[in-house]
Amino acid sequence: DPHTLEVELQVIGKAKPLGICGSGLVDVLSKLRNCSVIDRAGNFQMNHPSKSPRLRSTDVDREFVLAWAEEAGGEKDVVITENDIKNLIRAKGAIFAGIRSLLAMVAMDIEMIDRVIIAGGFGNYLNIADSVAIGLLPDIDPQKYEFIGNSSVKGAYLALISEKAWNEAQQLAKKITYIELSVGTTFMDEFVSALFLPHTDLSLFPSISN
C-alpha cells in the first residue's frame, strides 16, 4: 500500500513465507520504487511519510520487512535489505546492458525488436510490467514477449525423437555468432548507465513515470 506500506503477499504453495524467490525480488523492487520507499539508486527513503515500522535501520543495514516473524514460516522476519537491492540493481543492469550491447553491435534500436523469447523456470513467473519498471527488460509492446518454459529440455527431447529437429538444431548452431561483451567499453558504459531505476536515460522507458 503506497500510504501505509502494508504488504499483501502471495506465497508459492500457499504456505507461510520463508524467503523471496527470484521473480518475487523483481516484483518487490518495482513496488518499493512505485511507493517511493527507495529512490532511483536503490536507497531507502527513511523519511517516508508513512512512518511504517516495516522500514527500519539495523546495526548492519537498512531493510524493509515483507513478513513479520509471527506470520512467516521461520523464526525471524522476512526482509529485503538495501544491500540486497543494490545487488539486484547490478544484476538487472548487467542484463539490460547485455541487451543494449548486442543491439549496438548489429546497429539496431530497441524499437526494432520483433519478439523476445523468455526461457527457463524463472521466466515463467516473471512479471513483464514490473521487469520493465525496474529496467530489467526493454520497454516495448508486452505482446512481443513470449514465455517458452524450459527450452533446453524441450530442445533435447525434440532432438532425440526427431531427425528433422536434430538437423535443424545443427544448422542453427552453425549460424550462431559468439560476442565477447568484455571486449571494448560498450558493455561497461551500458552497465554503468543501467545502475538506476529504471535507467539513467529515461527516454528508453517512455511508459514508466518517475
SS3 state of residue 203: helix
Please provide the distance, in angstroms rounded to a whole number, between the alpha carbons at the two ends of the chain.
18
Q: The whole model's pTM is what?
A: 0.91
Q: Cell numbers of 135, please?
A: 529496467
Other Cβ atoms within 10 Å of 54 Cβ, number: 19
* pLDDT, tens digit (0-9, with 9 covering 90-100), for 137-172: 999 999 999 999 899 999 999 999 999 999 999 999
Instruction: Calculate what percentage of the chain has a pLDDT beyond 70.
Output: 99
| Burial of 56 per CB tally in 10 Å (0-12, 13-18, 19+) | middle
CB–CB of 48/5 below 8 Å?
Answer: yes
pLDDT of residue 210: 59
Helix 163-175 to helix 151-161 angle, to the nearest 10 degrees?
130
* Alpha carbons 112 and 65: distance in angstroms, whole number: 41
* pLDDT, tens digit (0-9, with 9 covering 90-100), for 37-58: 999 999 999 999 999 999 999 9
* Alpha carbons 81 and 88: distance in angstroms, whole number: 11
